[in-house]
């Protein structure tokens, strides 16, 4: 198992009910698995998590990105402009 620190910003913080979580994940877990884990823990946040932007150690990451042990993973809500 590995432990990562998860940060939530803006409306995601409201959906999750916290600003920060420590999450234990299997060694091979990546962004997609973390999103699934968080959505299962907080189903009301599932839609927001599905479209959230993710950064691992302050660099944007895609769904298939691996997450190293001890990483800081930040979730930002999807925004659109006009």
User: CB-based contacts of 45: which residues, under 8 Å, 6+ apart?
Assistant: 12, 15, 16, 38, 39
What are the φ/ψ torsions at residue 67 (nearest 5 degrees)?
-120, 120
Residue 70 CA to residue 5 CA, distance in Å, equals: 7
| pLDDT, tens digit, 9 for 90 and up, residues 36-75 | 999 999 999 999 999 999 999 999 999 999 999 999 999 9
CATH number of 2-76: 3.10.20.30
β-strand partners of 37: none
Residue 78: its pLDDT value, please?
A: 84
């Amino acid at each position: 198992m590995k432990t990562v620190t998860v940060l939530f910003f803006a409306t995601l913080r409201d959906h999750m009910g916290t600003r920060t979580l420590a999450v234990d994940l299997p060694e091979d877990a990546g962004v997609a698995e973390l999103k699934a884990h968080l959505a299962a823990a907080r189903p009301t946040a599932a839609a927001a998590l599905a479209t959230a932007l993710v950064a691992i150690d302050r660099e944007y990451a895609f769904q298939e990105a691996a997450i190293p042990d001890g990483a800081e993973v930040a979730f930002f809500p999807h925004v659109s402009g006009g």
